[in-house]
Amino acid sequence: MPHIELPLEIPGIASAFAFRPETAKPMRELAHVLLFEPGSDASLSSRDRELIATYVSSRNTCYFCQTSHGAAAASHPGGSSELVAAVCADPQTADISDKLKALLVIAARVQSDAKTVTPEMVSTARAAGATDLEIHDTVLIAAAFCMYNRYVDGLATWQPRNEEMYRVMGKRLAESGYTQTPAAHPPVTKPIADQPVIAESALAAR
């Protein structure tokens, strides 16, 4: 049971977002820029960025985040649930680029203690083709998921064990991103703008 009175029937971070829309807005926007929008040199795909988010969430043992972002990674072109599982088990033996492997080494250090990222790790990522922007975004994705994971677990949000729910959620995130535009959601009751609560409830009920 959640530690505070969160809206019922809404899973994970969405329940906390519904409880506090003022903080939800920048948190959604941050995830949207980091994971969904093309970067100014969009060389790191959304699949790869979702894999970084999933890997960090897995290291933080946050069930809701690793499952939902794993489903998003699997839904992007070139993604699959097998690939997600392989990355979480051991990025170095997974079927991903050397660049992503090097970025995941950095992400893991940011997750455990950011001060242990070394210039050598950064050089290795650069040698594999990583740009400054990609290194920046990797550090911030890893840091941000140390926030999202703690938020979700620290409030003891409802994290249902329901694979189909996460699959649907992942597909929606991969297609529409994180900012909850009305167009991204078929209206459930009536089309009112800025009502993410209704949209998320509908998702949970599916």
Partner 1 sequence: MPHITLPNLPGIRGPMAFRPETAKPLNELVEVLLRHPNSLTPGERELIATYVSSQNNCHYCQSIHGAIAAAHLDGDEEVVASVKQDFHIAPVSAKLKALLNIAGKIQQDGKLVTGQDVQAARDEGATDLEIHDTVLIAAAFCMYNRYVDGLATIQPQDPDLYRQRGKMVARDGYVAANLTNVLSPSTPTTNAPELVAR
161 lies in the site for partner 1, by CB under 8 A: no
Q: Which window, 82-90, 108-116, 181-189, 192-200, contacts partner 1 (CB under 8 A)?
A: 108-116
Which residue is associated with the tokens 């949970």?
204
Minimum distance of partner 1 from residue 179's CB (angstroms): 10
77 lies in the site for partner 1, by CB under 8 A: no
Q: Which of 81, 85, 153, 162 binds partner 1 (CB under 8 A)?
A: 153
Which residue is associated with the tokens 């499952």?
67
Nearer to partner 1, 23 or 92 (CB): 23
Nearer to partner 1, 154 or 191 (CB): 154
Applying CB under 8 A, what is the total number of residues that bind partner 1?
51
Residues 6+ apart with CB under 8 A from 76: 45, 46, 47, 50, 174
Q: Which of 74, 83, 117, 165 binds partner 1 (CB under 8 A)?
A: 117
* Per-residue x/- track, 167-196, partner 1 (CB under 8 A): ------------------------------
In SS3 terms, the chain reads as CCCCCCCCCCCHHHHHHHHCHHHHHHHHHHHHHHHHCCCCCCCCCHHHHHHHHHHHHHHCCCHHHHHHHHHHHHHCCCCCHHHHHHHHHCHHHCCCCHHHHHHHHHHHHHHHHHHHCCHHHHHHHHHCCCCHHHHHHHHHHHHHHHHHHHHHHHCCCCCCCCHHHHHHHHHHHHHHCCCCCHHHCCCCCCCCCCCHHHHHHHHHHC
Q: Which of 8, 23, 163, 181 binds partner 1 (CB under 8 A)?
A: 23
Nearer to partner 1, 74 or 152 (CB): 152
Residues that bind partner 1 (CB under 8 A): 3-5, 16, 19-20, 22-23, 25-27, 29-30, 33-34, 37, 40, 60-62, 106, 109-111, 113-115, 117, 119, 122, 132-133, 135-137, 139-140, 142-144, 146-156
